Amino acid sequence: MPSATPLYDVRGRGFARRAPVTEAWAWIDDRIVPPPARSLPLVECAGLRLAEAVMALGDWPPADRAAVDGYAVAAADTLGAGSYNPVPLTAAVAVTAGDPLPPGCDAVVPFEAAQAVGPFVEAIDAVAPGSGVERQAAWTRAGSQLLPAGRRLRPGDLGLLAAAGWGAGYGAGYGMVPVLPAPRVRILLAGGPKAGAPEQLGAMLAALVGRDGGAVEAVEDRTADLDALAEAFAQPGADLILSAGRTGTGPDDVAPVALAQAGSLDLHGIAMRPGGSAGLGLAGGVPVLLLPGEPMAALAAYELLAGRAVRRAAGLPAGLPHAATEVVTARKLVSEIGSVDLHRVRLDDDGRVEPAASPVWPGLAAAARADGFVLIPAESEGVPDGVPVTMYGFA
With binding defined as CB under 8 A, does residue 42 bind a second copy?
A: yes
With binding defined as CB under 8 A, does residue 113 bind a second copy?
A: yes
Nearest approach in angstroms of CB 201 to a second copy is 6
With binding defined as CB under 8 A, does residue 391 bind a second copy?
A: no
Q: Contacting a second copy (CB under 8 A), which of 76, 102, 142, 394?
A: 394
Sign of CA dihedral 176, 177, 178, 183: negative
Please count the other Cβ atoms lying within 10 Å of the Cβ belonging to residue 350. 7
With binding defined as CB under 8 A, does residue 129 bind a second copy?
A: no
- Peptide bond between residue 274 and the one before it cis (omega within 30 degrees of 0): yes
Look up residue 243 and give its amino acid: S
The CA distance from 257 to 11, in Å, is 10
CB 373 within 8 A of CB 391: yes
Q: What does the DSSP 8-state code read for residue 80?
A: T
With binding defined as CB under 8 A, does residue 119 bind a second copy?
A: no
Nearest approach in angstroms of CB 298 to a second copy is 6
Q: Contacting a second copy (CB under 8 A), which of 22, 63, 142, 199?
A: 199
Q: Contacting a second copy (CB under 8 A), which of 105, 107, 296, 391?
A: 296
Residue 198 vs 263, nearer CB to a second copy: 198
Q: Contacting a second copy (CB under 8 A), which of 80, 251, 285, 388?
A: 251
With binding defined as CB under 8 A, does residue 39 bind a second copy?
A: no
CA angle (202 as vertex; 307, 240 as ends), nearest 5: 45
* CA 274 vs CA 37, 76, 85, 262, 343: distances in Å: 36, 76, 80, 27, 9
Which of the ranges 20-28, 140-148, 235-243, 279-287 carries the binding residues for a second copy, by CB under 8 A?
A: 140-148
The CA distance from 35 to 17, in Å, is 33
Please count the other Cβ atoms lying within 10 Å of the Cβ belonging to residue 13. 9
Binders of a second copy among residues 254 to 293 (CB under 8 A) are: none
Residues touching a second copy, count (CB under 8 A): 92
Binders of a second copy among residues 302 to 361 (CB under 8 A) are: 323, 361
CA atoms within 13 A on the CB side of 193: 0
Nearest approach in angstroms of CB 199 to a second copy is 5
With binding defined as CB under 8 A, does residue 3 bind a second copy?
A: no
Look up residue 97 and give its amino acid: A
Nearest approach in angstroms of CB 163 to a second copy is 4
Residue 169 vs 285, nearer CB to a second copy: 169
Which of the ranges 19-27, 73-81, 106-114, 226-234 carries the binding residues for a second copy, by CB under 8 A?
A: 106-114
Please count the other Cβ atoms lying within 10 Å of the Cβ belonging to residue 208. 21
Residue 155 vs 173, nearer CB to a second copy: 155
Within the chain, residue ranges assigned H as helices are 21-31, 155-163, 198-211, 226-234, 255-262, 295-301, 307-313, 364-368
Residue 52 vs 194, nearer CB to a second copy: 194
With binding defined as CB under 8 A, does residue 7 bind a second copy?
A: no
- DSSP, collapsed to helix, strand or coil, labels residue 89 as coil
Q: Contacting a second copy (CB under 8 A), which of 168, 228, 318, 328?
A: 168
